[in-house]
Amino acid sequence: MASAVIISGLHAGSKTIFWSAIAGKPGRFVFYRWPVQYSKGKVDRAGHTFADQLRLVIDQKKTIERSPAVFEAVEIIDWWREEHARPLSRVAANLRRYAGQHEIPMVTQRLKKFPTIVDKLLREPTMKLSRMADIGGVRAVLPDQAAAYAVASQLRRNWTITKFRDYVAEPKADGYRALHLINRNHGRLIEVQLRTRLQDAWANSVEADARRAAPGLKFGAGPQAFRDFYVALGELLAIADQGLPADPVPYKRLMELRGQVDTLRRSAPRRKARQ
């Protein structure tokens, strides 16, 4: 008769390792995830439980509590993350069909990593995990703004779109521009971002500077020179996306800020290369 044992623990980076091991034959084991379903209420409670535990660890500089409640919270958060994998792939495949009508688009997808999910819960204490709309994300980079609006219009007509945000008409305070749509697919929320090539280049540059010189830049932190630089750069790129000539006044301001930003980049401590 087959015997079973539940193995529980935590990997580095707060990744779950909840597995079941069933002995099918002597000396051989088959490993698989235990098939479970959790309510959205339980998902929300798991998010709050683990985030609260991490706040205690951060504030009191203690090690994380290795209790059944914490282990269960990790398991549920990771289960909820993986629940978005198939809807994410479906959305990405369908988006390629719509975006493909506009030259050859670049469509990418990503499933938010466990630490990134928890980091967002820490930054936004009132957020319910079941309503986090960007656990699964798809992005299409299109040739121009007209193409981005055309794809957005098609998605809003043909998909279940629960939210649409036009960050081109109303840019974020940091200069970010794009079209964002939230698609409900098989009960899971998937974020769709539509960008022009210039908007994507802006966002990738912010990501790079956040990693090497200005941590927190994506969330409104970091040196003021960086923040001012990207606001000015976003304005100039928006003008370019419209096919208009650059205004010499903001261009001069951008060049002044670039000198400050380059100095900060050079003075940033270099990260050691991974072995």
Q: How many domains does the chain have?
A: 3
Single residue among 197, 212, 242 that ends a domain in this structure: 197
Neighbours of 23 (CB within 10 A): 14
Same domain (yes/no): 90, 172 = yes
SS3 22: strand
Using one digit for the tens of pLDDT, what is the confidence trace for 27-72? 444 444 556 789 999 999 999 999 999 888 888 777 777 888 899 9
User: Does residue 17 form part of some domain?
Assistant: yes
pLDDT at 251: 86
Backbone φ and ψ for 56, nearest 5 degrees, come out as: -65, -40
Single residue among 27, 50, 79 that ends a domain in this structure: 79
pLDDT at 35: 61
User: Does residue 272 form part of some domain?
Assistant: no
Question: Pick from 45, 64, 42: which is nearest to 121 by CA?
Answer: 45
User: What is 136-182 written as a DSSP string?
Assistant: EEEEEEESSHHHHHHHHHHHHHHS-EEEEEETTTS--TT----EEEE
Report whether pLDDT(16) > 90: no
pLDDT at 129: 97
pLDDT at 245: 84
Backbone φ and ψ for 42, nearest 5 degrees, come out as: -70, -35
SS3 24: strand
User: Does residue 62 form part of some domain?
Assistant: yes
Using one digit for the tens of pLDDT, what is the confidence trace for 91-145? 999 999 999 999 887 999 999 999 999 999 999 999 999 999 999 999 999 999 9
- Domain of 118, in residue numbers: 83-197
Same domain (yes/no): 164, 190 = yes
Considering the entire predicted model, what is its pTM?
Answer: 0.81
pLDDT at 220: 82
User: Does residue 258 form part of some domain?
Assistant: yes
pLDDT at 135: 97
User: Does residue 227 form part of some domain?
Assistant: yes
SS3 205: helix
Same domain (yes/no): 88, 190 = yes
Dihedral angle sign, alpha carbons of residues 137, 139, 145, 148: negative
Distance between the two ends of the chain, CA-based, in angstroms? 46
CATH code where residue 144 lies: 3.30.460.10
Same domain (yes/no): 235, 182 = no
Same domain (yes/no): 211, 180 = no
Same domain (yes/no): 222, 236 = yes
Same domain (yes/no): 185, 230 = no
Angstrom CA distances, 234 to 1, 95, 156, 178, 259, stand at: 66, 26, 26, 11, 17
User: Does residue 275 form part of some domain?
Assistant: no
What gap in Å lies between CA 64 and CA 10, rounded to an integer? 10
Using one digit for the tens of pLDDT, what is the confidence trace for 67-78? 888 999 999 999
User: Both tokens of residue 195?
Assistant: 């960008």
User: Does residue 250 form part of some domain?
Assistant: yes
Same domain (yes/no): 132, 151 = yes
Same domain (yes/no): 21, 35 = yes
User: Does residue 159 form part of some domain?
Assistant: yes
